[in-house]
């Protein structure tokens, strides 16, 4: 079963402590990754899309040259849930594998 309980403020802060480069914007988890090249950014989108499809949890994605921004929220739950944190971790792992360096 998918854990879709809403995270309280303390849980959200704890999750962010382990997700450098991510921040909360209301009930949305936002992560931006500046990649070395445009193709590396597109590869990050491809890998993130595969992870999102596997999890049946799809982020909003914005590509601006070498910077890729992901916005995660669980619409059916009305805010941030462990599903968002789990996908953020996967996306961050993909970014790191592609050469992104934690700021």
Per-residue pLDDT of the chain (103 residues; tens, 9 = 90+): 466 789 998 999 899 998 988 999 999 999 999 999 999 999 999 999 999 999 999 999 999 999 999 999 999 898 999 999 999 999 999 999 999 987 7
Helix (H) or strand (E) holding 34: strand 28-34
Task: Please give the full DSSP string across 35-71, using - where no structure is assigned.
Answer: -SSHHHHHHHHHHHHHHHHHHT---EEEEETTEEEEE
Query: Is residue 80 a contact partner of residue 24, using CB atoms and an 8 Å limit?
Result: yes
Q: Which domains does the chain have, with CATH numbers?
A: 9-65+76-97 (3.30.1360.20)
Q: In 3-state terms, what secondary structure has residue 4?
A: coil
Place of tokens 């914005």: 62
């Amino acid at each position: 079963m998918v854990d879709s309980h809403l995270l309280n403020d303390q849980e959200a802060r704890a999750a962010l402590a382990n997700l450098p480069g991510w921040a909360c914007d209301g009930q949305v988890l936002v992560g931006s990754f500046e990649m070395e090249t445009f193709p590396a950014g597109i590869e990050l989108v491809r890998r993130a899309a595969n992870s999102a499809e596997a999890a049946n949890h799809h982020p909003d994605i914005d590509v601006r040259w070498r910077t890729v921004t992901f916005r995660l929220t669980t619409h059916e739950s009305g805010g941030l849930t462990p599903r968002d944190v789990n996908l953020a971790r996967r996306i961050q792992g993909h970014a790191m594998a592609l050469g992104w360096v934690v700021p």
